[in-house]
Amino acid sequence: MGFERWFNRTLNRIWGFVEDRTGMPKWALRPQPAFSFKPSYWTGAFVVNAFLWQVISGMLLLLYYQPSVAPSLIACGQTPGTFSVAPAAWCSTYYIINTVPMGSLLLSSHLYGAYAMIFLAFVHMFRGYYLGVYKAPREFSWMVGTLLLLATLGMGFTGYLLPYTQLSYNATNVGIVLALRLPYAGPLLGPFILGDGTTQSLLSRMFVGHVLLIPIAMGALLYAHIALFESHGIAPPATSDPTQRRRFSDKEDKEHVPFMPHIFFYITKWALLYIGLLLGIAALWPWQLPTYVGNLTAVGLVTEPDWYFLWLFKFVDFYGVTPVLAVGMTNVVLLYILLLPFLDRTKRTHPRDRPLFIFIANSLVGFFLLMTVWGGLTPGQQILYPSIVERIAPIFLVNAVVVFLFYWRYERHYRARLAAAGQSNRLPGAYPTAPTPVPAAPRASEVASRE
Ligand code: HEM
């Protein structure tokens, strides 16, 4: 007990000193309301945790990785003891897995950590979408977030080629062909991506993108994203009440739970759980390195990207879908997400008040899931019109019926119930307002005089 008090006092004193000398509570790590002690309010922080693990594990991998397609002089046969001349990029990856102490754990956790980060970024985005956090004053937070998502996917794309396996090489080429077919942007991008057209040039560009350019862009975007978050404070719970405030006053801000140590340790707890799970999975199911680019003995290789791009690969398999159409439609979806705050103009944030936008979100999620599974099961297999309609149409139809029924039921019952109970000023999701003064209890003498 004595130790706990001493520990807390010391921590408070150190943090108090830092806050005082930096003026930090005014510009960073602001106090947050007590209701935010739920994982759903910190999905973005979980993405930051995942990003930090990627940075640390990536820097350690950099100590051994060689971004070169030249034949390696190091023995890196697929069966230990045999010598095979494979590209240095592949050989150095082989070396990390088989020779560097804990190298396999490091590489596998970096790869699975990338999957987790992309998955968490999607969760963070869709959570914000469903709960309407993109509405005023958080429009810019949303737009910077969309750019962060793009940068995260860019990290996945550029990192995929680095082990220089035949699988990743084929998939990267398909991705590049898609990008180059873009009208106007394609010819502009070409020289940047392809360089002098050699494989070394491509690998070097992917490498520089992965370890330098995109991380710098991500750092800058993340700084802007978090600065905006600090300036607006956390978004309140979703509400049907358009008059509700979406920002805390300075006074309320000061009364909230301090970031340090409460929120910091709350997030740290989740971060440690994340790292433990990630390392556990990486140790139990280490990644197996597929064969290298140019291995003439390899047969039956299928071109397949990582799971987060499978939907796009499957889309190109649809009869009549050209690369230009596939990339064009992807851009339309991206633009829709980017500009969402300006498309959904109602002040109500609760999902039940935004049926059209909820329908679109459900359709996007349904489409993405279906295409990902489909792409995984039948990569590269062409799909004809009847199958397309048979599988895609139910997503939109079922979704439209479900959203409509919920909305209809809500319109009929919910508002009627609130009005009947005279509670229209107590719709859920309100920021805590100053307590209404309770009239003082009458004094005994007053009661007696009334009688
Ligand atoms: C690499 C990807 C991303 C990272 C690291 C990140 C990080 C964060 C962090 C740390 C916060 C503070 C609150 C929280 O922890 O949830 C936040 C809030 C926010 N993010 Fe992200 N984010 C990312 C991607 C996105 C995307 C893709 C969107 C949407 C398109 C987005 C939109 C927002 C919005 C609107 C807020 C304010 C939410 C609130 O006040 O509750 N972010 N983000």
pLDDT of residue 426: 58
The whole-angstrom separation of Cα 167 and Cα 301 is 7
Query: Which atom of ligand 1 approaches the CA of 133 most closely?
Result: 35
As a whole-number percent, the residues of the chain with pLDDT over 90 amount to: 64
- The verdict on residue 336 lying in a domain is yes
- Does the pLDDT at position 178 exceed 70? yes
Residue 51 CB–ligand 1 contact under 6 Å = yes
Q: What is the pLDDT of residue 83?
A: 55
- Residue 195: phi and psi, rounded to 5, are 60, -130
DSSP string, 334-376: HHHHHHHHHH---S--SGGG-HHHHHHHHHHHHHHHHHHHHHH
142 lines ligand 1 (CB under 6 A): yes
Mutate to test the pocket of ligand 1, among 117, 155, 229, 264 (most ligand atoms within 8 A of CB): 229
Ligand 1 pocket residue status of 263, Cβ below 6 Å: no
By residue range, what is the domain housing residue 358? Answer: 306-419
More reliable by pLDDT, 79 or 445 = 79
Whether residue 39 is predicted with pLDDT greater than 90 in this model: the reply is yes
In a domain, 379, yes or no: yes
Distance, CA 117 to ligand 1 centroid (Å)? 13
Average pLDDT over residues 363-367: 97
Confidence of residue 449 (pLDDT cuts 50, 70, 90): very low
Per-residue model confidence as pLDDT tens digits over 217-247:
999 999 999 999 998 989 999 988 888 888 8
pLDDT in the model for residue 74: 64
Who has greater pLDDT, 298 or 408?
A: 408
What's the pTM? 0.90
pLDDT tens-place string over residues 194-207: 999 999 999 999 99
By the 8 A CB rule, do 357 and 347 touch? no
* Cβ(117) – ligand 1 distance below 6 Å: no
Q: Compute, in angstroms, the gap from residue 149 CA to the centroid of ligand 1.
A: 10
Bridge partners, residue 383, by sequence: 318
**Amino acid found at 294:** G
Q: How many whole angstroms from 168 Cα to the centroid of ligand 1?
A: 30
Band (444; pLDDT cuts 50, 70, 90): very low
Predicted confidence at residue 427, as pLDDT, reads: 57
Ligand 1 atom nearest 151 alpha carbon: 1
Q: Please tell me the residue having the least CA distance from ligand 1 atom 42.
A: 145
Hey, is 314 helix, strand or coil? helix
Q: How does residue 252 score in pLDDT terms, banded at 50, 70 and 90?
A: confident
Task: Decide if 144 is inside a domain.
Answer: no
Q: How far does the centroid of ligand 1 lie from the alpha carbon of residue 223, in Å?
A: 11
Q: For residue 196, tell me if it sits in a domain.
A: no
Give residue 11's pLDDT band: very low, low, confident or very high (50, 70, 90): confident
| Cross-strand partners of 307 | none
Identify the weakest region by mean pLDDT among 209-218, 321-330, 419-428, 439-448.
439-448
Q: Does residue 190 fall inside a structural domain? A: no
Give me the number of domains the chain comprises: 1
pLDDT for 432 equals 55
- What single-letter amino acid sits at 119? F
**Predicted confidence (pLDDT) at residue 299 exceeds the cutoff of 70:** no
Q: Are 43 and 124 in contact (CB under 8 A)?
A: yes
- 210, 165 Cβ separation under 8 angstroms: no
Average pLDDT of the chain? 89
* Whole-angstrom distance, CA of residue 245 vs CA of residue 250: 13
Assign 438 a pLDDT band (cuts: 50, 70, 90). Answer: very low
Which stretch of 122-126, 161-165, 228-232, 417-421 has the lowest confidence by average pLDDT? 417-421
Q: If you measure from the C-alpha of residue 146 to the centroid of ligand 1, how many angstroms do you get, rounded to a whole number? A: 9
For residue 284, give both structure tokens: 């139990």
Is the pLDDT at 73 greater than 70? The verdict is: no
110 alpha carbon, distance to own chain's centre: 16
In a domain, 328, yes or no: yes
Distance from C-alpha of 415 to C-alpha of 427, rounded to nearest angstrom? 10
Q: Is residue 448 part of a domain?
A: no
User: pLDDT tier at 448 (50, 70, 90 boundaries)?
Assistant: very low
Q: Is 371 in the pocket of ligand 1 (CB under 6 A)?
A: no
Q: Is the predicted pLDDT of residue 445 greater than 50, yes or no?
A: no
pLDDT tens per residue, range 393-422? 999 999 999 999 999 998 888 777 777 776
State the Cα–Cα distance between residues 451 and 449, nearest whole angstrom: 5
Judged by phi (left if over 0) then psi (alpha if -120 to 50, else beta), residue 84 lies in beta
pLDDT at 436 over 80: no
Query: 139 Cβ partners below 8 Å, 6+ apart?
Result: 341, 342
| DSSP-derived secondary structure for 219-285 | HHHHHHHHHHHHHH-SPPPP-S-TT--SS--HHHHHTSB-IIIIIHHHHHHHHHHHHHHHHHHHHHS
Is the beta carbon of 121 within 6 A of some atom in ligand 1? yes
Is residue 372 a contact partner of residue 307, using CB atoms and an 8 Å limit? yes
At 194 the three-state DSSP class reads: helix
Q: Which candidate, 169, 179, 189, 122, places its Cα nearest to that of 326? A: 179
Angle at which helix 214-232 crosses helix 139-161, to 10 degrees, equals 160
Cα of 368 from ligand 1 centre, angstroms: 21
Average pLDDT over residues 247-270: 86
Q: What are 398's two structure tokens?
A: 């079922």
- Span 86-98, mean pLDDT? 93
Listed residue (50, 42, 429) closest to 229, CA to CA: 42
Position of tokens 């140590």? Answer: 261
Which residue among 124, 214, 247, 270 is best mutated to probe the pocket of ligand 1, counting the most ligand atoms within 8 A of its Cβ?
124
CB 61 within 8 A of CB 96: yes
Helix (DSSP H) and strand (DSSP E) numbers for the chain: 17, 0
More confident residue, 249 or 106: 106
pLDDT of residue 451: 41
Whether 34 is in a domain gets the answer no
**134 in contact with ligand 1, CB cutoff 6 A:** yes
**Residue 161, both tokens:** 């080629």
- Let me know: does 392 contact 370? Beta carbons within 8 Å: yes
